[in-house]
């Protein structure tokens, strides 16, 4: 009974991925909580706080397929959290002798928060892996098309010539930075949560810190300076990062959608029979992947304020903000991973029409290189005079529907200084690419270093 399309067996392929859903679904969360309970028992047994046999029995029982969880929904409705009912089921499965040592010294939030930290760790690792594939795909496109000249556009108008390789490098550069951000935030969010009833671990006496650090080691998580029951900036940062990542993917998707317009036709998504088709228009090839990247971006960025709002936690245990986090965090990861997967699909198989790029570049008869002409004439006439001369030539080219080179040749003072070959060179878009190649090299170097 999926309500959110990201969790739907029908729409889920558009809004997320099965692999990320498997990290964050309800069964995975329950198993992570059991993993935490089992790890806690093993650590406490090593420290002599509970019997070794109890830890062994608890570990053996701590699997969802070995527990009777039929009463868990009723327990959650009554208690407000799943841990009480889950611990009861685990204690029964471990047996009466071992079961009385289950959940020793812990509180509900310890188990839930640590389970979520384990999910976030797996989710970030999955994102990182696919993000690296996306980076590699865009790097290959940047290299392949470093000399593919096209129109650069500002305010949706022709500006100056660029290369498609440079455009790919522009899409690529923030993704390299996002990998760096991801690696930097992981130690701040992949932390064990263990503080007992009010964040003091008083029930464990002098052994509290030892259990905290042992539990962190057992679960391959970091050990925080102190319990983070009401410190939620780590989880908020993780979702904030997803918002930034999706924003960069949204820029990529927006460009793809615009370049795929019939009037431009310079780039298209990979095509398969029926993909992006219409129920009424047989000719349609809609940019489906890019559209769903944008949908995911808006969804994730809408969840960022919810996570940040949940940071205002009252006293030692929150009454409401903590409970709001599950509404945002899993969905943000699922949507973000779906966006990365869609972007990867586009990057790996995009159809680049270099001939159409050249055709569009020449659509204005050379006006796109007006700056190049002005800068070329400036040493001969001075910058201001060159600007006025080229502006007059542009007006003449527009009114007479002639190429800019021909209009320039009609201006006597220019024709006296430059012949037809020199004007052709001056108006060649491929000769006015500035540092495009160097910028591509710099981004690719950063990519390879990473």
Name beta bridge partners: 157: 154
- Indicate which residue of 66, 100, 275, 278 is catalytic: 278
For residues 351 and 269, what is the distance between their CA atoms, to the nearest angstrom?
6
Q: Which of 317, 358, 396, 398 is catalytic?
A: 317
Annotated active-site residue 231? The verdict is no
| Integer Cα distance of 22 and 121 in angstroms | 13
C-alpha triplet 167, 173, 179: angle, nearest 5°: 145
In terms of DSSP H, where are the helices of 203-362?
A: 208-219, 233-259, 288-309, 321-349, 354-361
**Catalytic residue list contains 248:** no
250 neighbors 322 (Cβ within 8 angstroms): no
Among candidate residues 38, 25, 40, 42, the one with its CA nearest the CA of residue 122: 25
DSSP code string of 75-144: HHHHHSSSHHHHHHHHHHHH-HHHHTTTTTT--HHHHHHHHHHHHHHHHHHHHHHHHHHHHHHHHHHHHH
How would DSSP label each residue in 372-417?
HHHHHHHHHH-HHHHHHHHHHHHHHHHHHT--HHHHHHTSHHHHTT
Query: Looking at residue 280, what DSSP letter applies?
Result: S
Percent helix, strand and coil across the chain, each rounded to 5?
70, 5, 30
- Give the chain's end-to-end CA distance (angstroms, integer): 42
Quote the Cα angle for 298-303-307, to 5°.
Answer: 155
- Alpha carbon distance 322, 181 (integer Å): 25
Categorise residue 198: left if φ over 0, alpha if ψ from -120 to 50, beta otherwise.
alpha
Known catalytic residues? 278, 317
């Amino acid at each position: 009974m999926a309500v959110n399309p990201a969790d739907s067996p029908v729409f889920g392929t558009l809004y997320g991925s099965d692999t990320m859903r498997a990290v964050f679904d309800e069964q995975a969360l329950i198993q992570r909580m059991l993993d935490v309970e089992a790890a806690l028992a093993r650590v406490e047994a090593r420290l002599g706080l509970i019997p070794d046999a109890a830890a062994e029995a608890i570990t053996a029982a701590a699997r969802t397929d070995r527990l009777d969880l039929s009463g868990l929904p009723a327990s959650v409705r009554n208690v407000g959290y799943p841990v009480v009912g889950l611990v009861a089921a685990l204690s029964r499965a471990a047996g009466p002798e071992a079961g009385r040592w289950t959940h020793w010294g812990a509180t509900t939030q310890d188990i839930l928060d640590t389970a979520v930290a384990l999910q976030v760790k797996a989710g970030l690792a999955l994102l990182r892996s696919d993000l690296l594939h996306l980076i590699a795909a865009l790097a290959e496109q940047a290299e392949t098309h470093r000399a593919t000249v096209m129109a650069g556009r500002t305010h949706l108008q022709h500006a100056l010539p660029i290369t498609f390789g440079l455009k790919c490098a522009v899409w690529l550069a923030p993704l390299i930075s996002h990998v760096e951000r991801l690696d930097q935030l992981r130690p701040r969010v992949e932390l064990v949560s263990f503080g007992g009833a009010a964040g003091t671990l008083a029930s464990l006496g002098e052994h509290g810190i030892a259990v905290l650090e042992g539990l962190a080691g057992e679960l391959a998580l970091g050990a925080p300076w102190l319990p983070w029951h009401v410190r939620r900036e780590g989880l908020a940062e993780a979702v904030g990062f997803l918002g930034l990542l999706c924003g960069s993917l949204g820029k990529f998707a927006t460009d793809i959608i615009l370049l795929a317009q019939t009037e431009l036709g310079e780039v298209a998504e990979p095509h398969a029979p029926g993909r992006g088709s219409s129920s009424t228009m047989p000719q349609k090839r809609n940019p489906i992947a890019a559209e769903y990247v944008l949908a995911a971006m808006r969804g994730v960025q809408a969840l960022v304020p919810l996570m940040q709002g949940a940071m205002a936690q009252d006293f030692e245990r929150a009454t409401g903000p903590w409970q709001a986090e599950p509404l945002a965090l899993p969905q943000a990861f699922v949507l973000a991973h779906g966006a990365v997967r869609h972007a990867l699909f586009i990057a790996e198989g995009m159809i680049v029409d270099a001939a159409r790029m050249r055709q569009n570049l020449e659509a204005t008869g050379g006006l796109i290189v007006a700056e190049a002409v002005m800068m070329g004439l400036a040493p001969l006439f001075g910058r201001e005079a060159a600007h006025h001369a080229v502006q007059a030539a542009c007006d003449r080219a527009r009114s007479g529907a002639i190429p800019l080179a021909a209009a320039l040749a009609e201006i006597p003072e220019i024709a006296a200084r430059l012949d037809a070959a020199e004007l052709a060179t001056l108006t060649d878009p491929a000769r006015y690419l500035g540092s495009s190649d160097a910028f591509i090299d710099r981004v690719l170097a950063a990519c390879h270093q990473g």
